Amino acid sequence: MPSAKILTQKQEYVAALKAKFENAIGGAVVSYGGISVENDTKLRKELREAGVEYMVVKNTMLRLAVKGTSLEGLADIFVKDTAVAFASEADPMAAARILCKYAENDRSKKFAVKGGFLEGKPLSAEETAAIAKLPGREGMLSMLAGALSGIIGGLAVSLQAYVEKLEGGEEAAA
């Protein structure tokens, strides 16, 4: 049985993890086996630059952190070697995008995305991979701007054709 001091430290750690899960907009859970130190360093740097917090955590601690929350469904994937990435508000799926890209390019095929979460809802590995393929916030905004400019351009052409048709009708009547 652990001492009272160690037990208190573990309870504080679990409470901090629980807060991370509750405050994160999105994230991903991976099996990090087979990754070299060099690749891990590169991956962590890329995640850090994207505003993603990445950490290796004991499965027991993770299960306790999600117990009684909307993410309790993730407890089943907290087996073997597990790392969790928490994404910020700027790009909720940055963690999934970066980790899924790394998993696809991993030669050992031991690094794998186990699942994820978005806005308090657990996601399967397949759902996480599908969401990771979506463009980022800037990409979505540029797609929206392109669609809107196409609609506005079409409206302008239609209005100009209507005006020309009206002007042509007035000249024929005169």
What is the pLDDT, as a whole number, of residue 1?
65
Position 156 scores a pLDDT of 83
d(CA 167, CA 174): 11
- Residue 124 has a CB neighbour count (10 Å cut-off) of 14
Q: Collapse the DSSP code of 84 into the 3-class scheme (helix H, G, I; strand E, B; otherwise coil) and give the result.
A: strand
Higher-pLDDT residue of 70 and 92 is 70
The predicted pLDDT at position 169 comes to: 61
Would you say residue 30 has pLDDT above 90? yes
pLDDT score of 148: 81
132-162 per-position pLDDT tens digit: 887 766 676 777 788 888 888 888 888 888 8
Query: What pLDDT is recorded for position 170?
Result: 60
With contact defined as beta carbons under 8 Å apart, do 28 and 85 qualify? Answer: yes
Characterise 91 by phi-psi region: left (phi > 0), alpha (psi -120 to 50), beta (else).
Answer: beta
Q: Other CB atoms closer than 10 Å to residue 47's CB: what's the count?
A: 21
CA 12 to chain centre: 27
Nearest to 101 by CA among 92, 116, 112: 112
Residue 174: pLDDT above 60?
no
- pLDDT for residue 114: 94
Average pLDDT of the segment spanning 168-174? 57
Rounded to whole angstroms, what are the CA distances from 7 to 1, 21, 52, 59, 70?
A: 9, 21, 29, 17, 25
**pLDDT of res. 134:** 75
Q: Would the pTM count as exceeding 0.85? A: no
